[in-house]
Amino acid sequence: MLRSLYTGISGMRGFQTKLDVVSNNIANVNTVGFKAGRAMFADVLSQTLSGVTMPEEGVRGGVNPRQVGLGSKIQSIDTLFTQGSPMMTGVESDLAIDGNGFFAVQDAAENVYLTRAGNFYLDATRQLVTADGLLVLDEGGAPIQLDEGVKSFSVAKDGTIIQVLNDGEINTDIRIGLVHVANPGGLEKVGNTRYRLTPNADQETDPLALIGPAGEEGRGEIISSFLEMSNVDLTTEFTEMIVAQRGFQSNARIITTSDEVLQELVNLKR
């Protein structure tokens, strides 16, 4: 059977996956804190038709190997943690991270996740929570709950929550924590713009051991009344979509041509 037939199939599969990644990026162009993905290709195998011949000085020259490639594959799907554009909202509980780091949020089972989406709000018990009810953690890894009788509050760049109480007293005891990981690309997506810490993201597998104050030890600063929007660039994504479409079509044409060659071989008997 022709090598080109299966090579074309591998190419079609790869570009289909690339198109899946591009479509997901475009679908999340307006998702708060979303980070774009990127599909990277690599060749699979090469069949050696003849090996290398060692040169002999003054006698003969060396001969390079002759190899035929056998297709491509998706080598990796990277998550690009570049900074997204800030969008001003005017809501004090909306927070954006300027620089490295992630907010730590905790669900009812005390599982801790990381996120760049800072669209938080205060619930009925004055807890700072995400849009789907997960608790936002402070620099010590504890859930954040504002004081009873708080009149208003604001968030400083270092994550300090400045509370103004009804009696005029100001409380600055609570500080929002950020998690800094060595390799953000190693984080695992779990949906809802959240990530799970993995052994390839950091040698420390407990996210609470990595939490700390904003602006320190490589962590970015917190900007209040702003949200970090998706870092998807539509110009790049539409260009990549065209590349994926043409690549898919070209590989489909390879399969069609290989089929025509096989048909000619079958017809030789006639």
Least confident of 15-24, 81-90, 153-162, 165-174: 165-174
Q: Are strands 121-122 and 112-115 parallel, antiparallel or unpaired?
A: unpaired
- pLDDT band, very low/low/confident/very high, at 270 (cuts 50, 70, 90): low
For residue 69, the model assigns a pLDDT of 87
Looking at every residue in the chain, the average pLDDT score rounds to 93
φ, ψ of residue 243 to 5 degrees: the values are -60, -45
pLDDT tops 70 at residue 230 = yes
User: What percent of the chain is modeled with pLDDT above 90?
Assistant: 77
99: which DSSP letter?
Answer: S
| Pairwise CA distance, residues 112 & 181, whole Å | 14
Cα dihedral value 186, 190, 193, 196, nearest 10: -40
In this structure, the strands spanning 194-196 and 211-213 are unpaired
Averaged pLDDT for residues 25-49 = 93
Per-residue pLDDT, 67: 87
pLDDT-derived band at 5 (thresholds 50, 70, 90) equals confident
The pTM score is 0.88
Q: Which residue has the tokens 């590349």?
A: 243
